[in-house]
Structure 1
Amino acid sequence: MTAVTARRLGILILPGLLVAAFCVVLLAGTYSGALDAYTLGDPGPWVRYGLPIVKVLYNLSIATCIGALALAAFVLPRTGSLRRSREQKQHGAGTPEPLWEAAMQYAASAAVVWTVAAAGTTLLMYIDIAGAQAFQAGGLSADFGFFLTGLDTGRAWLVITCIAAVAAMLCIAVRSYTGVGLTLLLAAVALVPQALTGHAAGSDNHSLAVNSIGLHLVGAVAWLGVLIPFGFLAPRIAGRADAGALLRRISALALFGFVLIASSGMINGSVRMAGPEDLLTPYGQLLLAKLVLTVVLGAIGWVHRSRIIGRVESGAGALPLFWRLLGVEALIFGAVSGLAVALSRTAPPVPQEPPEVATAARLLTGEDLPPPPSVEAVWTQWHPDVFWIAVALLASYAYIRGFLALRRRGDSWPVLRLICWLLGMAGLIYVTSGAPAVYGTVLFSGHMVQHMLLVMAVPLPMVIGAPITLLMRAVAPRRDGSRGPREWILGVVHSRFAGVLSNPIVAAVNFAGSLVVFYYSGIMWYSLDTHLGHEIMVAHFLVAGYLFAQSLIGTDPGVKRYPYPIRLLVLLITMAFHAFFGISIMSSTSLIEPNWFGNIGHGWVSAIEDQQTGGEIAWGIGELPTLLLAIGVAVQWTKSSRREAVRSDRQEDKTSDAELRAYNEMLASLSKRPQDPRR
């Protein structure tokens, strides 16, 4: 395949994708009625037709920007070799390869389009909501300012536009790996407010809808976002000796994106449809068409991975077929993107608004009250948090894959560590999706159970699993100048920031001090009232507990650990403070977050009694984890002493007890000295 042919295919990918997306969104919107004139306050056809088109451009540009950054961060070699001087490695010096530089230029171009499309989407959404009142005296009305600052939708799109503008400047300015990684992280943050708007924001099953659409967006940028810049890079990749290796890395990203898109799409669709009969509605038919096209895309990806990439690596000349399939994939992805925008503008068959007569619990939590707590309810009440389920499943898959890789290589890895890691992931799913999550929103004691399990119980088996050590042993380092998951994770682990957080004193203060700050500063309200606040709370306490346990009994690198007597002292002091915190809640007569727990309306127990029960839980639930941590420190201390004794014995055997003989000779010489008569 010549470079000219590859260049032509690469150039045709984006226009073909755009044309397919624009045509499909207009056809699907017309079919579903999403583009029909409004009965009241119609903004005009140029807004009704223009908003979906601009939204398609927005979706493609943000995906391309993040995808190009992901190529630069995870796939493409930056310098061609890792054999550089220490100064270059420390400061990211060295001229980037043209291929890597081209990816960053495409990211910058996409970020500029993303910024313009985000601003246009914000303006058109305001006009779409305000209708004829959007303009006054020939210009935008003063309500536009209120839309940007007073409404959730306006604030979300204002944040997205600002993030896009900053990301565009960073894509132009930064060229170090650290800078690219931070820019990628910033651009990915823009997916959060996007997930919190639209149908998901008004969904009756809010958390499930928001998390599923968030995972859907991540899958789209991991698959579609990589496809577009990869098409432009076709002529540069076609003639490279490492083309097969690069295709395999891109295929891995596409597989990750396919799994997320397919699974989250089905979950999100189930939230908005009552049953199979809703597939006959316009919304259901568009959703079914999108699912069929996604399956076709998955089949093309399977052909890439199973038949073509191996032939490319062996030099069998399969590149022409690869690029043709890539072009077909781009056209289908354009149709999928158009269907996605049309779906976001189409009313789902299940009403997304809460009922007119709602209970206090529904007004606060968005859900009806669960049944009263019981032994049976502890195991039967579930409210899936698909984000943490996805995290746990992905982490379990990666760990099992590393474990099997070591076994196939003939290396050993304790099965107990594998079991502990899987137990930790199962515990994470239960704490975030089971009864602790269900009752954590309506009972202070339930919230305390979830909190204590997150910070004290779940991290213990995770630390024993030693995931960083497994990563270092199972995944080979890259030698071509690119960075994979191994390099990025180890870079974070050995960074100064992680070193400060993992310091035993800092970890202990964070572990214990977070309790006081969270419950007595008013931050707890945001974890109850906002979905994003709840997810941040879960992540913070999980990391705090993991770092604290890692500093005491962990074996992974990147953590400074004190001598064993000091570890026990730190553990005892921290647990004493933890017990004092529990007693302070037990003895308190003022309600924490009274506007929430005082108005939840369950009638099972008074709010103050439930809070005091929560204090008892905070005091008592830490006993077993503390004992296990103390036993772990003691066991490691004993093993360390034995290893030191064995090492000392081996040293003495090598030197024929030279140190002991020297000590005896010193004592003998002292005994032969003349005694002072004055003594």
Structure 2
Amino acid sequence: MMASPRRSIVLVSTASAVAVVLAALAVLFGALWFGGGWPPQQIPGLPAPGLLTTAGLPIVRVLHDVCAVATVGTLLAAAALGGGADARREITRAAGPWALAWAATAACTQILTMSDLIGLPVGEAIESGFLPTYSMEVPQGQAFLLVTVLTVVVAIGTSLRVGTLGRVVLLAIAVFAVLPPAYVGHSASAADHNIAISSLMAHIAGVTLWVGGLFALVAHLRRYDAASAAVAVRRFSAVALCCFAIVGASGLVNAWIRLGGVAEVWQTRYGLLVLAKLAALCVLGWFGWRHRRATIATLDGAAAGDGRPGSGPFLRLAAAEAAVMACAIALAVGLSRTPPPRAEASHDQHELLGYVLPPFAPGRLLTEFRPDPILIMAVILIAAGYLVGVWRLARRGEAWPVGQVATAVAGVLVVLYAVAGGLAAYAPALFSAHALQYALVGTAGPALFALGAPLVPLREAAPSAARAAEGRHATALTHPAAATAVYGVPYLLLYVTGLFDWAQSSLAVRLAVLATLAVTGTWFFHVALGLDPLPRVIGPALRTGMLGAAVAVQVWVALVFLAGPRQGQEWYAALALPWAPELGADQRTGALIGPGTSAAVLLALIALLALRRRGARRRAASATAVAEPAETRG
């Protein structure tokens, strides 16, 4: 008796999935064996965690990563890859079980890592009563506890009825949830550990979005009609290209820091595993090239033809690509348990800063370079999106003003210098440098970028993100009072609640604060300047009042610096830099150059609004003067 075609397809798909899982497990244990992570070396006289921990931990970690990838990818498809409202809701709900499985594997990983750390079998480790202490005080325990909490939040959110902005928020939470284990991993003790950690987090985020997006397309392509399928694959192709660049660049940076030299690439087992990952990346790049050359065109042709999605070629190529990705993830897990040849920090670098910082001189603000991979890639992606949008507008015959492009690019360059130049090197060490950095990131750069009217070009480059920025909740933030609060509240929280100390001493908090200042500043100037279309009418006087209120915020910040308590006193005392100025004097300098720079930018914008208002009145008067003689002649 012949099996039905549908049953045959299911059997073939199941067999393929089993083969991929077995191949990934083979790669995992092969990498562990080659890198020295398996079998574990037992030291006589010390307790051993047992087979369940030593064998189960890497397997559970792979399952953890698979669930993370599936959750993020499914939410990416729901938030950004198009489709009708019903399809988006179904895909959002489909992320819920994956998020719950992610939470469960994170909890299991937490217990197994504790067992591995204290050298006791799982049962004895739990009975020891160390779990609460491990979860609240040990970085690895804190990381996986945070992952568990965040993934439960995501699972709950997927069961609610959310719009585009809600899906974007869930996606952001899910992407953030993949980062804590990287933050406390091997890179935390590597040479130049801030760059090592940042590059690893960028690498993992890029991989998760890339692999997860492909998984979501393969799993949910049937929910799309022909036209939506073509749009979804084309959008994902753009996302995958960005992720490919991020993964490649961040991987090279992290590998260079961990290896310490070219010779270690082929002279150490860690380096050879890195080469294997690089080979997998090249293979995946070839898959992406084939998608762009063949399968996307097939989907476009099917959408323009009989209405049936020509998804067969895409699904076959994507399935092979997913198999390579699964093996690459297994290889990455094996690499994470392989000791790098340059595991410890250099003796020349500052213990708290994590890098060598020469004595301050004004010229070094231009000659020093302190890149942060996450911030650099974020800034470059935003600039690329803006320029792509401008190019698409020009291709349609809607040329974007050159002056606006120039000011937007200038704003991007200002922020890029502030987060990667000499100022970024000295900002954690000198209060005055910190104050100037925040002025550039939170005020000067966003103001210039907003003068480029970025929303229209970005809408062309990323329609889904633009829809989120125009939703009901985002519209509420265009109210002048709300937008002004968005600008001022971060400064209040930073200098009144003690958050500043965390921002100086913690890389994660510092990155979050810089990103928050850039986003809130851009949103404020987007509303206050009104060069982009807004859902409400805001008069010139009210816009001037918003900028005046922002000046008041900066005056308040300056007064806090001048008359308030010393900021970050314990942090600067712990740094103990012999060439650093006295904190009180440096804080007064910071009051002048930080809030002073921001206030100068805001006053210049007030003058610009006044000139625009005067010019509008002059043009209106000229139009009236021209119209009156015409009426007289009539």
Query: Same fold, TM exceeding 0.5?
Result: yes
Q: CA deviation at 1:47?
A: 1.4
Q: Which residue of 2 aligns with 1:592?
A: 567
Query: What is the count of residue pairs matched by the alignment?
Result: 620
| Matching residue's letter, 2:100 | V
Describe the shift of the 1:77–1:241 C-alpha distance in structure 2 as closer, same or farther (beyond 3 A). closer
Task: Tell whether the 8 Å contact from 1:579 to 1:618 is kept in structure 2 after alignment.
Answer: no
Q: Which residue of 2 aligns with 1:22?
A: 25
Residue number among 459, 468, 471 corresponding to 1:491 in the alignment? 468
Q: Which residue of 1 aligns with 2:60?
A: 54
Describe the shift of the 1:349–1:641 C-alpha distance in structure 2 as closer, same or farther (beyond 3 A). same
Q: Which residue of 1 aligns with 2:518?
A: 542
Say whether 1:182 aligns with 2:186. Answer: no
| Structure 2 gap ranges (5+) | none
Task: Tell whether the 8 Å contact from 1:527 to 1:537 is kept in structure 2 after alignment.
Answer: yes
User: How far apart, CA to CA, are the structure 1 residues paired with 2:329 and 2:210?
Assistant: 12
Task: Tell whether the 8 Å contact from 1:463 to 1:550 is kept in structure 2 after alignment.
Answer: yes
| Matching residue's letter, 1:533 | V
Task: Tell whether the 8 Å contact from 1:67 to 1:221 is kept in structure 2 after alignment.
Answer: yes
User: How far apart, CA to CA, are the structure 2 residues paired with 1:630 and 1:9?
Assistant: 67
Q: Which residue of 2 aligns with 1:669?
A: none
Say whether 1:117 aligns with 2:94. Answer: no
Q: CA deviation at 1:633?
A: 0.9
User: How far apart, CA to CA, are the structure 2 residues paired with 1:621 and 1:277?
Assistant: 47
Describe the shift of the 1:656–1:14 C-alpha distance in structure 2 as closer, same or farther (beyond 3 A). farther
Q: Which residue of 2 aligns with 1:342?
A: 334
Q: Which residue of 2 aligns with 1:89?
A: none
User: How far apart, CA to CA, are the structure 2 residues paired with 1:581 and 1:524?
Assistant: 13
| Matching residue's letter, 2:56 | G
Q: Which residue of 1 aligns with 2:72?
A: 66
Q: Which residue of 1 aligns with 2:507?
A: 531
Residue number among 198, 221, 226 corresponding to 1:211 in the alignment? 198
User: How far apart, CA to CA, are the structure 1 residues paired with 2:312 and 2:598?
Assistant: 62
* 3-state SS of paired residue (1:365): coil
| Matching residue's letter, 1:495 | R
Residue number among 603, 607, 614 corresponding to 2:578 in the alignment? 603
Q: Which residue of 1 aligns with 2:81?
A: 75
Q: How does 1:29-40 map to 2 (within 5 A)?
A: 29-35=32-38, 36-39=40-43, 40=46
Residue number among 608, 615, 622 corresponding to 1:639 in the alignment? 615
Describe the shift of the 1:393–1:574 C-alpha distance in structure 2 as closer, same or farther (beyond 3 A). closer
| Matching residue's letter, 1:639 | G
User: How far apart, CA to CA, are the structure 2 residues paired with 1:577 and 1:168?
Assistant: 39
User: How far apart, CA to CA, are the structure 2 residues paired with 1:412 and 1:107?
Assistant: 41
User: How far apart, CA to CA, are the structure 2 residues paired with 1:304 and 1:487?
Assistant: 22
* 3-state SS of paired residue (2:283): helix
Residue number among 588, 606, 609 corresponding to 1:630 in the alignment? 606
Q: CA deviation at 1:199?
A: 1.5
Q: Which residue of 2 aligns with 1:91?
A: none
Q: CA deviation at 1:182?
A: 3.4
Larger radius of gyration: 1
Q: CA deviation at 1:450?
A: 0.8
Percent of aligned positions that are identical: 26
| Matching residue's letter, 1:326 | A
User: How far apart, CA to CA, are the structure 2 residues paired with 1:282 and 1:518?
Assistant: 45
User: How far apart, CA to CA, are the structure 2 residues paired with 1:128 and 1:383?
Assistant: 36
User: How far apart, CA to CA, are the structure 2 residues paired with 1:3 and 1:236?
Assistant: 18
Residue number among 467, 476, 494 corresponding to 2:454 in the alignment? 467
Say whether 1:268 aligns with 2:254. Answer: yes
User: How far apart, CA to CA, are the structure 1 residues paired with 2:91 and 2:483?
Assistant: 39
Query: What whole-Å deviation, never above 9, does each CA across 1:218-239 have from its counterpart, x for those lacking one?
Result: 22222211223433346666x8
Q: Which residue of 2 aligns with 1:249?
A: 235
Q: CA deviation at 1:323?
A: 3.1
| Matching residue's letter, 1:419 | A
| Matching residue's letter, 1:618 | G
| Matching residue's letter, 1:253 | V
Describe the shift of the 1:636–1:149 C-alpha distance in structure 2 as closer, same or farther (beyond 3 A). same
Task: Tell whether the 8 Å contact from 1:199 to 1:352 is kept in structure 2 after alignment.
Answer: no
Indicate the larger mover: 45-54 or 579-588.
579-588
Q: Which residue of 1 aligns with 2:480?
A: 504
Q: Which residue of 2 aligns with 1:82?
A: none
Describe the shift of the 1:310–1:273 C-alpha distance in structure 2 as closer, same or farther (beyond 3 A). same
Task: Tell whether the 8 Å contact from 1:102 to 1:233 is kept in structure 2 after alignment.
Answer: no
Q: CA deviation at 1:569?
A: 4.9
Query: What whole-Å deviation, never above 9, does each CA across 1:340-385 have from its counterpart, x for those lacking one?
Result: 0001111111123565xx88xx3332233x2222232111111101
User: How far apart, CA to CA, are the structure 2 residues paired with 1:470 and 1:173?
Assistant: 32
Residue number among 417, 425, 436 corresponding to 1:449 in the alignment? 436
Q: CA deviation at 1:509?
A: 5.0
Residue number among 343, 367, 371 corresponding to 2:355 in the alignment? 367
Query: What whole-Å deviation, never above 9, does each CA across 1:558-614 have from its counterpart, x for those lacking one?
Result: 3766533454455446435634642553456x5322112234222222222222222
Q: CA deviation at 1:128?
A: 0.6
Q: Which residue of 2 aligns with 1:201?
A: 188
Q: How does 1:274-673 map to 2 (within 5 A)?
A: 274-279=260-265, 280-315=267-302, 319-353=311-345, 355=347, 362-368=350-356, 370-472=357-459, 474=460, 485-497=462-474, 499-500=476-477, 502-509=478-485, 511-512=487-488, 514-558=490-534, 562-572=538-548, 574-575=550-551, 578-579=554-555, 581-583=557-559, 585-586=561-562, 591-604=566-579, 605-618=581-594, 620-622=596-598, 624-645=600-621, 648=624
Residue number among 37, 42, 51 corresponding to 1:45 in the alignment? 51
User: How far apart, CA to CA, are the structure 2 residues paired with 1:17 and 1:367?
Assistant: 42
Q: TM-score, normalised by structure 2?
A: 0.89
User: How far apart, CA to CA, are the structure 1 residues paired with 2:239 and 2:10?
Assistant: 23
Q: CA deviation at 1:67?
A: 0.7
* 3-state SS of paired residue (2:360): coil
User: How far apart, CA to CA, are the structure 2 residues paired with 1:108 and 1:505?
Assistant: 36
Task: Tell whether the 8 Å contact from 1:587 to 1:612 is kept in structure 2 after alignment.
Answer: no
Task: Tell whether the 8 Å contact from 1:504 to 1:560 is kept in structure 2 after alignment.
Answer: no
User: How far apart, CA to CA, are the structure 2 residues paired with 1:540 and 1:78?
Assistant: 32
Describe the shift of the 1:76–1:402 C-alpha distance in structure 2 as closer, same or farther (beyond 3 A). closer
Q: CA deviation at 1:424?
A: 1.0
| Matching residue's letter, 1:323 | L
Q: CA deviation at 1:20?
A: 2.0
Task: Tell whether the 8 Å contact from 1:201 to 1:210 is kept in structure 2 after alignment.
Answer: yes
Q: CA deviation at 1:188?
A: 2.1
User: How far apart, CA to CA, are the structure 1 residues paired with 2:300 and 2:486?
Assistant: 49
Describe the shift of the 1:657–1:622 C-alpha distance in structure 2 as closer, same or farther (beyond 3 A). farther
Q: CA deviation at 1:320?
A: 4.2
Indicate the larger mover: 173-182 or 443-452.
173-182
Indicate the larger mover: 197-206 or 523-532.
197-206
Aligned Cα RMSD in Å?
3.0
| Matching residue's letter, 1:396 | A
Query: What whole-Å deviation, never above 9, does each CA across 1:48-104 have from its counterpart, x for those lacking one?
Result: 22111111111011101111121122224234xxxxxxxxxxxxxxxx24xx56634
| Matching residue's letter, 2:315 | W
Q: TM-score, normalised by structure 1?
A: 0.83
User: How far apart, CA to CA, are the structure 1 residues paired with 2:6 and 2:394?
Assistant: 42
Q: CA deviation at 1:135?
A: 4.6
| Matching residue's letter, 1:645 | A
